[in-house]
Amino acid sequence: MPTTSKTNHSAGNGSTGQKGSLAQYQEIVALVQEPMQQTEARLASAFDDAPPEARQMALHLVQGGGKRVRPLLVLLSARLFTEDVQKAIPVAVAAEMIHMATLVHDDVIDGAELRRGRPTVGRLWGNVNAVLSGDAVLARALLLLVQESTPAIVEIMSEMLYQMCEGEIVQNARASNLDQEEDDYFYRIERKTALFFAACCQSGALAVGAPPELAKRLWHFGRAVGMAFQVIDDLLDVAGDEKVLGKPAGQDLAEGILTLPVLYLLRHPEHGEQVRALLNGGTPDPAAIATVVKLARENGAHEYTYQTARQFVDEAKGWLEGLPPTPLKEVLISVADFSVERRL
């Protein structure tokens, strides 16, 4: 697995001029519209044989919406090699089910009552049922992979799941630790987000018979896109529009999670000590969070974080070299750009 090294973050060309928007995302989805619709239908029917109580909770998760980024990556990666992506649809369904399971478990851990503006499973049915429903969805996803994919894809997704859990354990153990380095941060987000993107891209390609060496290039592409995606998520947490995000700024800080903009501020020559005092190794109060968010917006943290994400995008595009020169290759380039220009 490639490691993340420190680089000169002053490099990069800034915004590409492409503005991330719902319209841009919908244009990308439209290229695999029919298989995405089939994926959605299979998600809705995946628990038809379950007891009514379990089916109700699973459907609540499915109907919660979301951008379906992971199944989209599976299908676009498959579409790069063939127009017939039917064999990739079960992988796309399983990928979204795995994502749903992680979200319901996250909500229990965080004590969340809302997810995308809707009551969480824990709020409606209690945390015990929420944990069990997450386990059931995850188990069904793995069973689907075993039945309708290949041993290689099962191994890829299982390894990714293990490393995701490993990353969450590390994140919880190091919460509010003000002495973290950037490499600690990159380790966490790789396991939290990037390896899932990587697994989706590689598995989508393998599902339709792509050569393993080309599928591995897509793994690297997905990892770099995932890194960029998570860096921008963390930037939006301190610099995004709260009305658009649907949550207060600084939510990560409130949970003791130190993201790249905050790590930048902690070593800022003028404000580092102030930020350290505000955070003080514990759970900061709302006033302290508001001050740190303001500093992040005004003292270079925003641009530094954005340029870091752009470097991951450049890395992602580099991994597309040597892949088939089809229009879908250009679409994957657009996906990489969208990961940092989005404003959803």
Residue 182 domain-assigned? yes
Rounded Cα–Cα distance for residues 344 and 341 (Å):
9
Identify whether 4 is part of a domain. no
Is residue 15 in a domain?
Answer: no
Q: Which domain holds residue 306?
A: 22-341
pLDDT, one tens digit per residue, over 173-214 is: 988 899 999 999 999 999 999 999 999 999 999 999 999 999
Residue 7 lies in a domain: no
- Taking a C-beta distance cutoff of 8 angstroms, is the pair 217, 202 a contact? no
Backbone angles phi, psi at 177, to 5 degrees: -80, 110
| Kind and range of the H or E run holding 112 | none
CB neighbour list of residue 139: distance below 8 Å, 6 or more residues apart: none
**What tens digit of pLDDT does each residue of 2-28 get?**
333 333 333 333 333 344 456 777 788
Q: pTM for this one?
A: 0.90
Here the CATH number for the domain that contains residue 228 is: 1.10.600.10
195-207 and 212-239 helices cross at what angle (nearest 10)?
Answer: 150
Classify residue 2: in a domain, yes or no.
no
Q: Is the pLDDT of residue 151 over 60?
A: yes
For CA atoms 102, 108, 110, 111, give the dihedral sign.
Answer: positive
Cα gap 18→334, rounded to integer Å: 9
Q: Report the pLDDT averaged over residues 226-231.
A: 97
| Residue 1 located in a structural domain | no
pLDDT in the model for residue 65: 77
Q: What's the total number of domains in the chain?
A: 1
Q: Is residue 91 part of a domain?
A: yes
